[in-house]
Amino acid sequence: MTVNWGLVWESLGPIVSGAVTGTIPLALTSFALGLVLALLVALMRISRNSVLSAIARGYISVIRGTPLLVQLFVIFYGLPSVGVTISPWPSAIIAFSLNVGGYAAEVIRAAILSVPKGQWEAAYTIGMSRHQSLARVVLPQAARVSVPPLSNTFISLVKDTSLASLILVTELFRQAQQVAAFSQEFMLLYVEAAVIYWIICLVLSGGQSILEKRLDRYVAH
């Protein structure tokens, strides 16, 4: 197969632009909101209140037990049937944030539970309440433990943002689709999009390694 390098270079600008203005902002926004939700759900999950714990378990079960694509379609295509219409970009953010929240909640919960009970007891000894112990002692230690799996979640989210093209969000893959539809060079454009996703993930993986090494300095061995 002869590669049309002219088309590759011409399409590179629009596709990279889709990544910069669509994929990356969508992933960052969804991940940030998802982390806030995940922390709340994780705290509900370990709460002594059985009702809160049950709600958190139910939410996590639904999110982890249903495909992200279905969640996205329910929000964008399903809600209008009950009178709730949300535009493409907010729909994608809501779907991705809820998905991140469901998966990251278990990561954060496991990280909190991994902190030795002695840390809680030491905090209580110096007069801290349960909330103060959690915020000042437990969560900072849990954050270091949760960095690797949460970083992996973010990298997966970057790739999952390609699903937003199905609800007409203009991001990296949507731009590749548009150029491919015009040029009829589907294989070439889709491979180009895949390579760009791969490069983004390589950069993120490198950043993850650097962050882990920095945090490792503060962990006793």
pLDDT 10s per residue in the chain (221 long)?
577 888 889 999 999 999 999 999 999 999 999 999 999 999 999 988 999 999 999 999 999 999 999 999 999 999 999 999 999 999 999 999 999 999 999 999 999 988 888 777 787 788 787 778 877 888 888 888 898 899 999 999 999 999 999 998 989 999 999 999 998 999 999 999 999 999 999 999 999 888 878 776 655 44
Asked whether residue 50 is assigned to any structural domain, the reply reads yes
CATH of the domain at 162: 1.10.3720.10
Asked whether residue 151 is assigned to any structural domain, the reply reads yes
Asked whether residue 162 is assigned to any structural domain, the reply reads yes
- CA distance linking residue 77 with residue 73, whole number of Å: 5
- The number of folded domains in the chain is 1
- CA distance linking residue 176 with residue 14, whole number of Å: 8
Asked whether residue 221 is assigned to any structural domain, the reply reads no
Q: Give the structural domain span for 130.
A: 5-216
pTM of this prediction?
0.90
- CA distance linking residue 204 with residue 153, whole number of Å: 11
